[in-house]
Structure 1
């Protein structure tokens, strides 16, 4: 059933729905009609409140885990609350200064990334995650060496002196002259560029007819560079801190869910892929429960934000992961501020 827009709820239903969600996010426990009747400003009997709760349950916004228990928000209810009702609590001046002070501690950028993950864990009471900026070496020289049987060794030398090797499967019929021509082309035309920049420049030159390479050489150059570019993109590095905070008192009644979440976090490649989906976002993204396939079984939420270098380029993603009862109103702006603060340190 599609989630109704918040404007379709009556004022009474909105007030009761907000109290249930906020009470659940605060305690991790279902909220009953008696507790709601005691809230100031409602002026409703428990019977009237129960009637509204039943209506909200019928709309798929609330659920009762047990017959005699109170109500808690469903994933659809949390999405409605986050998108249409939540009032974010911006970090205080003291909180902002504390974050900036921890990030500014002397040390290499790797230390700042570790600190960022720990900060995110501290402010959320859950696990903090930081995707390390991709290493994009600038090309100094690329050599192609025939290994026989259709296999070619690509030797990449970066401007920083780093050397990496990759084996490319090209098929039979690759001559030494062809390899030399392709190597010379790459070194002469593309030196000083990163791999993605090199691929884009090479394709542009070939498409415009400015390249003097024949068809075989074009294919070899493109495949050689594409292998490098794809390989760099497929090697994300993820820092996760604060997993132990997922084992709080509220989690003790749902250990299977927490165990599933911890297993998911062990698969850092899959977690990194999830964070990658937030890379092009203009603002902080929120994934609630089964909205993301990876954490559907553990019923967890992810709050993620891209962070940029001083030139405004997205270089990584950071965020937190925890139970769906995260304090979204507090954590979302804190994640956003931490992303902006980290970006100021990235050259």
Structure 2
């Protein structure tokens, strides 16, 4: 959205009070907030005076009337004003911090700990949790080939960090099981400790120089196996999404919008590009609704923060995605704490 919200200081005291009451009421209930509700909430003005102020706020583009009723909801512009100038953050509780730290301490490959931490963030925020990490330079421990049929085999890569990746590849006609064993033994012995890029360069060099002591069938398999993994590596960074189902938990959810959001999450490349915008700097980034064209239909918000590795460089971005009716004051500090926890994990 190109429009700029007015500074908070430009609003009168009573306009600020009414605007905050509308936002608080909407974020709590998801329903439009009317003048009668505001009058009963302690605003010391008559319903008529409140309606006048609501009209002024609507003219500024901060509130909208979604239906024919007198109730108002904050616009994306209004939510931006609230988040940037009026929100009072609420730090995560000791129990919430402990849950995030406990999941981050999960043993095994880094991706498992990242996924577990993202799941914890999803559960605590009632949103879908997101984490984006860059292309990982796998160092190989072993590679094997398991026959599936006369035309297919499963290539199994075990990395030095213990992670395992499987890919199904096609087999040339008439390839014998012995060729699968030969190819796996050759790759494991020759490529141990190398990254995929290093492994591919070495294999290409040895094959070109005729120093690879393998027959033609095994050679074809080796080349194909490395090509599959190298191509896959180019498609990273890795986006992990957890807790999409939580987007359906809210009884007041607009199901059409939720479906749009779930469709957005399926387009992982676009979500990854959005999160990549949060990599610059140290601050938490908040993308609200139509401010980003990706969420123009689903009316979603993303809260994201980068986290750094031992060298001080940004190594990933963690955040949440959900409807614009988020508890920003609670979720923003939770994302901040999760980013700090992941930075310690990567250290």
Instruction: Report the TM-score, using the length of structure 2 for normalisation.
Output: 0.72
Q: Deviations over 1:207-240 (max 9, x none)?
A: xxxxxxxxxxxxxxxxxxxxxx999675211111
Which of residues 22, 41, 54 in structure 2 aligns to 1:20? 22
Give the 4+ runs in structure 1 shifted more than 3 A: 162-167, 229-234, 249-252
Counterpart for residue 283 of structure 1: 283
Structure 1: where are the runs of 5+ without partners? 139-156, 168-178, 184-228
Counterpart for residue 256 of structure 1: 256
Q: Deviations over 1:233-289 (max 9, x none)?
A: 75211111111111134454x222111111110011111111111111321100001
Q: 1:55 to 1:340 in 2, by over 3 A?
A: same
Q: 1:100 to 1:260 in 2, by over 3 A?
A: same
Does the CA contact (< 8 Å) of 2:191 and 2:199 recur in 1?
A: no
Quick check: 270-279 or 110-119, which moved more?
Answer: 110-119
Counterpart for residue 152 of structure 2: none
Counterpart for residue 95 of structure 1: 96
Q: 1:46 to 1:109 in 2, by over 3 A?
A: same
Does the CA contact (< 8 Å) of 1:236 and 1:269 recur in 2?
A: no
Q: How far apart are residue 334 of structure 1 and its match?
A: 0.4
Q: How does 1:307-346 map to 2 (within 5 A)?
A: 307-346=307-346
Q: 1:280 to 1:43 in 2, by over 3 A?
A: same
Structure 1: distance between partners of 2:84 and 2:301: 14
Structure 1: distance between partners of 2:52 and 2:247: 35
Structure 2: distance between partners of 1:322 and 1:289: 10
Q: How many residues align?
A: 272
Quick check: 45-54 or 326-335, which moved more?
Answer: 45-54
Counterpart for residue 36 of structure 2: 34
Which of residues 179, 188, 196 in structure 2 aligns to 1:163? 196
Structure 1: distance between partners of 2:263 and 2:125: 20
Counterpart for residue 159 of structure 2: none
Structure 2: distance between partners of 1:271 and 1:98: 26
Does the CA contact (< 8 Å) of 1:134 and 1:316 recur in 2?
A: no
Counterpart for residue 125 of structure 2: 124
Q: Deviations over 1:27-59 (max 9, x none)?
A: 11111111111113x211111111111110111
Q: 1:111 to 1:234 in 2, by over 3 A?
A: closer
Q: Deviations over 1:88-140 (max 9, x none)?
A: 111123322232122113333222111121012112111001113421469xx
Structure 2: distance between partners of 1:287 and 1:62: 18
Q: SS where residue 277 of structure 1 aligns?
A: helix
Q: How far apart are residue 346 of structure 1 and its match?
A: 1.0
Structure 1: distance between partners of 2:24 and 2:79: 10
Counterpart for residue 274 of structure 2: 274
Q: How far apart are residue 161 of structure 1 and its match?
A: 2.1
Q: 1:80 to 1:120 in 2, by over 3 A?
A: same
Structure 1: distance between partners of 2:191 and 2:136: 11
Q: 1:162 to 1:233 in 2, by over 3 A?
A: closer
Instruction: Report the TM-score, using the length of structure 1 for normalisation.
Output: 0.72
Structure 2: distance between partners of 1:133 and 1:93: 30
Structure 1: distance between partners of 2:5 and 2:78: 8
Q: SS where residue 311 of structure 1 aligns?
A: coil
Structure 2: distance between partners of 1:158 and 1:69: 70
Counterpart for residue 50 of structure 2: 49
Does the CA contact (< 8 Å) of 1:28 and 1:250 recur in 2?
A: no
Structure 2: distance between partners of 1:158 and 1:82: 52
